Amino acid sequence: MSKVKVTDIAKDTSKSTLHDFLSFCGKITDIDFQEEDQHKSAIVTFERPSAAKTALMLDGSNLNGATLHVSSDAEHADEAESHEHPSPVHHIEQSDKPRAGIAAEYLAKGYQLSDHILQRAIEIDNKQGISKKFLSYINGLDSSIGQRALGPEQTISGKVQSTFNQARERAMSINEQKGISKTAHEYYSKALASPVGQKVLSFYTNTSKQVFDIHEEARRIVDQHKSRRQEASSTAPPTEGSGVQSEPTTQAAPTAA
């Protein structure tokens, strides 16, 4: 278990609100709230050191109008990985994701992270690299979708790198003929099967990126969730007496399963 201390929490911030905010970093096992004169503080315990390290990245972030300070007396390092060739991975935890990807999820959810924090996420990924477990997962996903849609030895990202128009037509054809968009409920699957599949794959598998790239991925996450909600609304039976569809809300990409 790995702990961080969060101080200068707004007085009106509840334990569940703080939990929701920090759960993007990884699994939380305990939050010990402490009342202070003007603010609150909390000791947050994460299941994995990598999650605590991601939480430290959020030092200076804003929650409910207050600037949070996240610190720790201990140094939290990412778990050592085996040098053996990784076996196929079909499940990842939130804490397995690249920090830049997690930062994009925060922005997509509507949280405000400064460009300084986004740059910090990029620097951690540059220093630590992308976890082998996540790389195995995302590359396997790209390959499995490509094989289902296009045949053996094919990947979605490899097919959408020619030109934008060709990529768009190909992706639309794949979706219509194979039903990929309708059956792939998880963000990565749908994003890889989209006309920007190669960009998405590159974002999650390469450490060379800029702050702009995180903002761009956040917009893709938002657009994907809007599209999913609109599809759900169009296929759902109309509610009696209601003639207006409400504007869909957005949420961060879920932990992949």
Each residue's pLDDT tens digit, 38-75 = 899 999 999 999 999 999 999 999 999 999 999 999 88
Alpha-carbon gap, residue 180 to 193, rounded angstroms:
7
Residue 119 CB contacts under 8 Å (≥ 6 apart), including other chains: 211
**207-239 burial code (b ≥16 CB/10 A, e <16):** bebebebbbbbbebbbebbeebbeeeeeeeeee
| Residues listed for the chain | 257
The DSSP code sequence of 222-250 is HHHHHHHHHHHHHHSPPPTT---PPPPP-
Alpha-carbon gap, residue 31 to 244, rounded angstroms:
41
Alpha-carbon gap, residue 20 to 179, rounded angstroms:
33
Tokens of 141: 């996903």
Residue 228 CB contacts under 8 Å (≥ 6 apart), including other chains: 185, 190
Does residue 132 carry a pLDDT above 80?
yes
Write the pLDDT tens digit of every residue in 139-195. Answer: 887 676 555 544 555 554 555 444 444 544 554 454 444 443 333 336 887 888 777
- Say whether 158 sits in a helix, a strand or coil: helix
Residue 126 pLDDT level (bands cut at 50, 70, 90) = very high
Alpha-carbon gap, residue 88 to 140, rounded angstroms:
7
40-46 and 28-35 strand pairing: antiparallel
pTM: 0.76
| Residue 74 dihedral angles phi and psi, to the nearest 5° | -105, 155
pLDDT for the residue numbered 36: 81
**Nearest one of 75, 74, 71, 120 to 99, comparing CA atoms:** 120
